[in-house]
Amino acid sequence: MESNVRTIPSTLKGKDLLTLLDYSTEEIKYLLERAVELKHAQKHGKMAPLLAGKSLGMIFENASTRTRVSFEVGMTQLGGHALFLSPRDLQIGRGEPICDTAQVLSRYVDAIMIRTNSHKTVEELAKYATVPVINALTDDYHPCQALADMLTVYETKGLYKGLKVSFIGDGNNVAHSLVIICAKLGIDIAVATPPGYELNQSILQKAKEVAKRTGAVIEQTNDPVYAVTGADVIYTDVWASMGYEAEQENRLQIFQPYQVNKSLVKHAKRDFMFLHCLPAHRGEEVTADIIDDPKHSYIYDEAENRLHAQKAILTALL
């Protein structure tokens, strides 16, 4: 059976994962390298029950496919157990304070994963919980997705520095975490959004402070062609993220010039990778011929890597 080959940094045990801003470059690289090991072990039938007897409480205030399945399967592969908890299953759905929920769940489970809207909710949960809290998505951040993204890039390109990532679309939670992880790993990134839909300026400034230390170049622009020029990786997301469905029709018009299509990708490197966190709307943020191109699209590898990246997180924090 696969043993715990890589020594877990002492700084990670018991740590929360709220945003990758709280993680060092070394800690992020450890998680990515550990994910590679765990993926290899699973593919070769050598997974060890590293989390036998451990339980993960999963709080979902939003619908999910990839997040729920990948965390549940990940815990199963590691010999542990995951509990799905919707607002209907919890007293927070009837007004119980987060502080009470956090402290009670901490007596039952070994870690808490939460997918919610407000990042303040995750911060409050972490404040009162005595077990690690993992942010599985908020309006501001999506750190687990960013780790899966970079795992996919690393597997394909074999390096970090020297790469250029281009994000086209809405300056949302996925874009925020992508910019942060690129900054931490020394990867150049250009983000192109329509005017008024840029990245949160406070988060962008924090990422730029990190980039000063790693040598990454972070650019924000309204010009998608400029952002894509010379890119090794092109990334997009839906134009109306969860919670913004009411703006869908208006956004369809505003974001149309930011569609990833053949005309746009010709400005990238010839061997560019296309990434999308899914779910995708073919014909909106990306054309079908790009997202379904077996030569350039890595969306299903990326989706699978949520499983392996999250197993690395779980084994490191629990």
pLDDT at 204 over 90: yes
- Asked if residues 43 and 53 have their Cβ atoms less than 8 Å apart, the reply is no
Candidates 88, 58, 90; CA nearest to 73 is 58
* Domain 145-302 homologous superfamily, CATH: Aspartate/ornithine carbamoyltransferase (3.40.50.1370)
CA 169 – CA 167 distance, rounded (Å): 7
pLDDT at 291 over 70: yes
Q: What is the pLDDT of residues 229-263, one digit of tens each?
A: 999 999 999 998 766 778 889 999 999 999 999 99
Helix axes of 299-317 and 143-157: crossing angle, nearest 10 degrees: 120
Q: What is the pLDDT of residues 33-52, one digit of tens each?
A: 999 999 999 999 999 999 99
Phi, psi of 137 (to 5 degrees): 150, 130
State yes or no: is 145 an active-site residue.
yes
Q: How confident is the model at residue 65 (pLDDT cuts 50, 70, 90)?
A: confident
CA 227 – CA 247 distance, rounded (Å): 25
Catalytic hit among 115, 251, 296, 308: 115
Q: What pLDDT, on the 0 to 100 scale, is given for residue 96? A: 80
Q: What is the pLDDT of residues 171-182, one digit of tens each?
A: 999 999 999 999
State yes or no: is 115 an active-site residue.
yes
Tallying the residues shown for the chain, one arrives at 318
CA 37 – CA 273 distance, rounded (Å): 23
Q: What pLDDT, on the 0 to 100 scale, is given for residue 20? A: 98
| Strand order, beta sheet including 188-192 | 218-221, 188-192, 164-168, 233-236, 273-276
pLDDT at 30 over 50: yes
Catalytic hit among 34, 66, 142, 276: 142
Kindly state the average pLDDT of the residues 103-130: 97
* Average pLDDT of the chain to the nearest whole number: 94
Q: How confident is the model at residue 91 (pLDDT cuts 50, 70, 90)?
A: low
Question: 165 pairs with which residues across the strands?
Answer: 189, 233
Catalytic hit among 145, 220, 259, 310: 145
Q: What is the pLDDT of residues 142-165, one digit of tens each?
A: 999 999 999 999 999 999 999 999
CA 62 – CA 66 distance, rounded (Å): 12
Catalytic hit among 110, 306, 308, 310: 306
Quick one: CA dihedral 37, 43, 49, 54, positive or negative? positive
Greater pLDDT, 64 or 194: 194
Residue spans in the chain of domains classed CATH 3.40.50.1370: 20-141+304-317, 145-302
Q: What pLDDT, on the 0 to 100 scale, is given for residue 33? A: 97
pLDDT at 4 over 70: no
State yes or no: is 306 an active-site residue.
yes
What are the tokens at 113?
């994963």
Candidates 106, 179, 111; CA nearest to 141 is 179
pTM metric for this prediction: 0.95
Catalytic hit among 277, 296, 308, 310: 277
Indicate the fold that domain 20-141+304-317 takes in CATH.
Rossmann fold (3.40.50)
